[in-house]
C-alpha cells in the first residue's frame, strides 16, 4: 500500500496531529513517521485528556503502531526521553534515524532574538539544522546519543519504510507546520519556519520516493490561525470574540500555541491561500477542521448527515472550488470529535 503524507495547508496548527491519529487508527499495523522538530506540537487525546507531542508521532498511544523519527528531524533528547516515559513507549516500537540532528542548549539560546523578531518558538530547531548544513563537525547526531540508544532503536528509517510499503503495509508521514510557513515557498519570508513544509519535502525527510506516495491529505481550518506577536501577515484577521458570535458558541474559546502557550491570532477563511497550497501539494484528500467554529451546533457531531446546513454549504463550496474530495471533518478539539466522509 502506498504511503500517506499529512500536510498543513495554511499557517500551522491546522489539526495534522488529529488527522494523523485518525488515519493511523484505521490501519492494523501502521508505520507512523514524524518529521520536523520540537518547534511544533501536535495534539492527541489519551484517556479523555489532551496531550501535546513535539517529538513522538501522535500515534504513540496506539500500541499496534510502529513509530519512527525521520532522518530530516531535529531532536531534543530531554524532550524525547520525557515523551517516551510519559507514554510508556517500548524500545521495540520506536526507531530514531541515526542521522537526525540533536539540539543543544546553545541552539535554544541563540534563537532568543527570533521570538520577538519573527514570532519563532525559539526551540533551537533552525540553529541545529543550520549547524548540520554547515558540515563543520560540530553537529551531534542521534547516532552519538547513548541515552537515546537505551530507549529506542537507532537505525536507518527509510529501509524499514521501503520494506513496509513493499509488503503492502500502511506508512503515514506526519508533516509539520503549514504550507504558508515553508522556508522555500511561503509568501512571507522571513516570517517562515526553518524548513520546507510541502508534502514532497516530508517524503524526502522520511526517505520515501514520490512514486511511493498514494495519498496526500491537506489539512485546513475553517478559521486559520497564526502564532501571536510579530509573526507575519494574517489576512482578514478577526478576534476570538468574533468567532464566538459567528458560531453562537456559549463562550469564547481562545486557542494558545502548543509550544510557547502564546495566544494565537485568528483570521477569516482564505480560499486563495488554500488553493495555492493545493497547487504545490496536489492533495488527493482534504481534512477540514473546526466546522464547529462555523456553527457551534456541529460540536461533537460524528455523523455527516447531522452537520448543519451552514456546515454542509461550506464543505460544498470547498469541493466545487478546489475539486478535492473531503475525507475528515473536525467537529471539536478531541481526537474523536470528527466525521469521516469516506469509507
pLDDT tens for 70-90 read 999 999 999 999 999 999 999
How far apart are alpha carbons 126 and 111 in whole angstroms?
A: 8
Q: Answer for the pair 44, 19: CB distance below 8 angstroms, yes or no.
A: no
What pLDDT, on a 0 to 100 scale, did the predictor assign at position 38? Answer: 86
Closest CA to 95 of 140, 33, 170, 41: 33
The yes-or-no verdict on residue 307 having pLDDT over 60 is yes
CA dihedral for 81, 85, 86, 88, sign (positive or negative): positive
The yes-or-no verdict on residue 338 having pLDDT over 60 is yes
What pLDDT, on a 0 to 100 scale, did the predictor assign at position 326? Answer: 98
Which domains, and CATH codes, for the chain? 3-97+157-340 (3.40.440.10)
The yes-or-no verdict on residue 321 having pLDDT over 90 is yes
pLDDT > 90 in the chain, percent: 80
pLDDT in tens, 138-185: 889 999 999 999 999 999 999 999 999 999 999 999 999 999 999 999
49/98: higher pLDDT: 98
Section 107-120 average pLDDT: 61
**What does the mean pLDDT of the chain come to?**
92
Section 44-60 average pLDDT: 88
What pLDDT, on a 0 to 100 scale, did the predictor assign at position 25? Answer: 94
Band the pLDDT of 108: cuts 50, 70, 90: low
66/259: higher pLDDT: 66
SS3 69: strand
172/50: higher pLDDT: 172
For 146, counting Cβ atoms within 10 Å of its Cβ (0-12 exposed, 13-18 middle, 19+ buried), the class is: exposed
Query: Does the N-terminal peptide bond of residue 190 adopt cis geometry, omega within 30 degrees of 0?
Result: yes
Section 198-211 average pLDDT: 97
What pLDDT, on a 0 to 100 scale, did the predictor assign at position 152? Answer: 97
pLDDT in tens, 241-285: 999 999 999 999 999 987 778 899 999 999 999 999 999 999 999
Section 61-78 average pLDDT: 95
Q: Show Cβ contacts of residue 210 under 8 Å, excluding neighbours closer than 6 positions.
A: 200, 203
What pLDDT, on a 0 to 100 scale, did the predictor assign at position 49? Answer: 83
Q: Which residue has the cell 458570535?
A: 245
What pLDDT, on a 0 to 100 scale, did the predictor assign at position 225? Answer: 95
Band the pLDDT of 112: cuts 50, 70, 90: low
For residues 298, 299, 304, 310, the Cα torsion angle rounded to the nearest 10 degrees is: 20
Kindly report the pTM of this predicted structure. 0.94
In the chain, what is the straight-line distance between the N-terminal and C-terminal CA atoms, in Å?
Answer: 16
How far apart are alpha carbons 54 and 31 in whole angstroms?
A: 18
Band the pLDDT of 117: cuts 50, 70, 90: low
229/333: higher pLDDT: 333
Q: How many helices (H) and strands (E) does the chain have?
A: 11, 17
SS3 305: helix
pLDDT in tens, 182-192: 999 999 999 99
Amino acid at each position: 500500500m502506498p504511503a500517506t503524507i499529512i500536510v498543513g495547508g495554511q499557517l500551522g496548527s491546522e489539526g495534522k496531529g488529529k488527522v494523523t491519529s485518525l488515519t493511523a487508527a484505521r490501519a492494523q499495523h501502521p508505520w507512523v513517521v514524524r518529521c520536523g522538530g520540537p518547534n511544533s506540537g501536535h495534539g492527541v487525546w489519551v484517556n479523555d485528556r489532551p496531550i501535546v507531542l513535539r517529538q513522538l508521532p501522535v500515534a504513540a498511544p496506539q500500541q499496534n503502531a510502529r513509530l519512527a523519527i525521520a532522518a530530516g528531524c531535529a531532536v531534543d533528547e530531554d524532550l524525547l526521553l520525557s515523551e517516551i516515559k510519559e507514554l510508556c513507549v517500548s524500545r521495540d516500537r520506536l526507531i530514531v534515524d541515526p542521522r537526525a540532528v540533536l539540539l543543544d542548549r546553545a541552539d535554544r539560546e541563540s534563537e532568543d532574538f527570533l521570538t520577538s523578531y519573527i514570532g519563532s518558538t525559539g526551540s533551537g530547531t533552525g540553529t541545529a539544522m543550520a549547524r548540520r548544513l554547515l558540515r563543520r563537525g560540530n553537529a551531534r547526531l542521534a547516532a552519538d546519543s547513548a541515552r537515546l540508544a537505551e530507549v529506542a532503536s537507532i537505525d536507518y528509517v527509510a529501509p524499514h519504510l521501503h520494506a513496509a510499503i513493499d509488503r503492502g503495509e500502511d506508512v503515514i508521514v506526519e508533516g509539520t507546520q503549514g504550507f504558508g510557513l515553508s522556508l522555500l515557498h511561503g509568501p512571507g519570508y522571513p516570517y517562515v519556519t526553518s524548513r520546507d513544509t510541502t508534502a514532497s519535502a516530508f517524503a524526502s525527510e522520511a526517505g520515501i520516493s514520490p512514486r511511493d506516495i498514494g495519498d496526500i491529505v491537506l489539512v485546513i481550518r475553517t478559521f486559520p490561525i497564526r502564532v501571536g506577536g510579530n509573526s507575519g501577515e494574517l489576512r482578514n484577521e478577526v478576534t476570538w470574540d468574533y468567532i464566538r458570535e459567528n458560531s453562537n458558541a456559549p463562550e469564547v474559546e481562545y486557542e494558545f500555541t502548543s509550544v510557547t502557550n502564546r495566544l494565537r491570532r485568528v483570521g477569516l477563511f482564505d480560499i486563495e491561500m488554500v488553493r495555492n497550497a493545493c497547487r504545490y501539494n496536489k492533495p488527493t484528500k482534504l481534512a477540514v477542521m473546526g466546522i464547529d467554529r462555523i456553527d457551534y451546533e456541529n460540536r461533537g457531531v460524528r455523523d455527516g448527515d447531522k452537520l448543519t446546513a451552514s456546515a454542509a454549504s461550506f464543505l460544498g463550496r470547498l469541493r466545487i472550488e478546489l475539486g478535492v474530495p473531503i475525507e475528515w471533518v473536525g467537529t471539536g478539539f478531541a481526537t474523536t470529535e470528527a466525521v469521516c466522509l469516506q469509507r
